[in-house]
Amino acid sequence: MNVSLLFQQYGNSLVYALGTALLATLVAVPTSYAMARWDSVWMKMLFWCCVVLLFLPFQVTMLPEYVLLEFLHLLDTRLAILIPGMVSPLPILILWMGNKQVPGEFEDAFCLESGSLLSYFRFVLLPNLSGVIAAAFAICFLLNWNLVDPALIFLEDKGLWPLSLTLLEQEGTARLYYGILDMVPVVLLLGVVMVVMRKRSMK
């Protein structure tokens, strides 16, 4: 067992999962707001594009992503995982549903007083969507923690591999150790979610 490579790949998994979840959530917040509030043909087209992309397997989008990353000279870099992952339809649709639950009258009343959309985001929308944003972030993290196909296709350098790829190559006791280590962030994240939900239910 190469311990240095193990922790390097463990760090890669954290970078990919946390980075993709953070970037995807940052993209999803304004995108979902626009889809929920702006009644236009373009927003409806964007909504249905997200729905269609949600059901497309990675094998369908793999070739276009590979060609684009090769054109940008990003193959075999960490950005080859982060950039495609930041435009994810799932958090956009989750936050779209959350935006639909916030009454439009809140925005109208607030903007009459301040006239600032950024202030509305800061003081009204984000506090009301905090639980939905946290859920979208957690789901993105879990989906990207055990990357296999994108990392296998876009990364050749084993030093850039996530832990999940190396886990597939292990046997016996080593596989057990790798598996336990692989489960630690997931268990911690689920524990945090359970504690937050318990505190909310007690209020």
Kindly report, residue by residue over 132-152, the tens digit of the pLDDT.
Answer: 898 899 889 888 888 888 988
Contact 71, 141 (CB under 8 A): no
- Comparing 121 with 173, the larger pLDDT belongs to 121
Domain ranges within the chain, ordered by starting residue? 3-202
Tokens of 30: 């304004």
Q: Per-residue pLDDT averaged across 43-55, rounded?
A: 89
Q: Per-residue pLDDT averaged across 74-80, rounded?
A: 92
Class of the domain covering 3-202: mainly alpha
Q: Per-residue pLDDT averaged across 18-25, rounded?
A: 93
Check residue 168 and give its pLDDT: 66
As a whole number, the mean pLDDT across the chain is 83
- Comparing 199 with 82, the larger pLDDT belongs to 82
Residue 1 in this model has a pLDDT that exceeds 60: no
What is the secondary structure of 158-192 as a DSSP string?
GGG--HHHHHHH--HHHHHHHHHHHHHHHHHHHHH
At residue 185's C-alpha, the angle toward residues 180 and 191, to 5°, is 110
